[in-house]
Amino acid sequence: MSSDYSPALTMLVPDAYVFPGSWGATRRWLILHKTAGFQTAQEVAAYFQAGSDGNDVSVHYVVGLDGTVVQCVREADGAGGNGVLEAGHDAWWSGNPNLVTFSIEHVDPDINNASPVTPAQQAASFALIRSICTRWAIPMRTADSNGGITGHYSIDPQSRAHCPGNYPWDALWAFLKGAAPMPVPQGWKDNGTTLTAPNKHFLVKGFRDHVLTASAWDASDMPLEEEQSVAEVERHASSGAGTRQLTVGRLLIYTASKGVMESAAGQEIKVCYDEIAAQAKQIATLTAELKAAQTPIAPTAINVTSAIAACQSIATSLVIIEKDATTLKTALGI
């Protein structure tokens, strides 16, 4: 079976040890470890495969001193090696940290994780980190509440304060900065915190990271509005409260539990179309009712015979009056 990362060997742990599909959570962080024991990546992988620690823990990849990379857990699944939260953990963690992270072990025979990382191990580690971050849109920087890279100590500051020990963080940041410049879409501007499109709309924080870490982002796919807080980020699914921002081609959504995601735009539009159709139908019904209410009331039918009789009676009366008037004029001599 091939690995998810082509240079890696594959020694997968039993399915029962992993969180399938990471239970639907979005992975936003990458956690680095050192093994505090062992000589080779294969030894560590065999240890995980056998469930030797008694807790069925594992990590996604193990990087050996000789630069060998072994995959133990599919990237699509969550690995259990990041443990449970301990008091003093970084503020943004909540729930099960294994569901929102990838994890990489680095072989270090020293119990205190004090052996220097070898050049081959460092090169293999850095390349693997860049690959995972690029393919899973994980920010290539020190972790914060929006994602990034950090050590096991961030989650378990008491029992794992020395994990990953002397890992060369500064060299990692320099490598990631130099090797993977953030591709700002053509014509856009980025000042380090705000990514502004030519139409003046802008993206910040996780949405900015999402565009800058995308494997490709069409420069014409500009935001159509600013990020806004909403009680429900989607109409076709109950994703809860968060923020939302439309671009020409996508709906970016953020919730505290799932992080930044692209909504299933087709499903979202389908719900909107259905709502518009239902409203158009309602408007048509109301218009018809209104029209019916405005139709003038038909006049009561006139009884022509009695009307003619009435007219004749008036005419007869007029003849009499005229006759009387003539008689009166004659009598008065006018």
Q: Give contact residues for Zn ion (rule: CB under 5 A).
A: 33, 152, 160, 163
Name the minimum Å distance from CB 83 to Zn ion.
8
> In terms of DSSP H, where are the helices of 50-95?
none
Specify whether the CB–CB gap between 259 and 213 falls below 8 A. Answer: no
- Residue placing its CB nearer to Zn ion in the complex, 74 or 152: 152
Alpha-carbon distance 194 to 242, whole Å? 19
- Residue placing its CB nearer to Zn ion in the complex, 18 or 163: 163
The DSSP 8-state label assigned to residue 126 in this structure reads: H
Four-point Cα dihedral 267, 273, 278, 280, nearest 10: 180
- Residue placing its CB nearer to Zn ion in the complex, 167 or 188: 167
The DSSP 8-state label assigned to residue 163 in this structure reads: S
Name the minimum Å distance from CB 152 to Zn ion.
3
Using the structure block, give the residue that is written with the tokens 């920087």: 141
- Residue placing its CB nearer to Zn ion in the complex, 167 or 202: 167
3-state secondary structure 200-259: CCEEEHHHHHHHHCCCCCCCCCCECCCCEEECCCCCCCCCCCEEEEEECCCEEEEECCCE
Name the minimum Å distance from CB 41 to Zn ion.
15
Name the minimum Å distance from CB 80 to Zn ion.
12
- Residue placing its CB nearer to Zn ion in the complex, 105 or 234: 105
Name the minimum Å distance from CB 59 to Zn ion.
8
- Residue placing its CB nearer to Zn ion in the complex, 101 or 213: 101
Name the minimum Å distance from CB 107 to Zn ion.
12
Peptide bond into 164 cis (omega under 30): yes
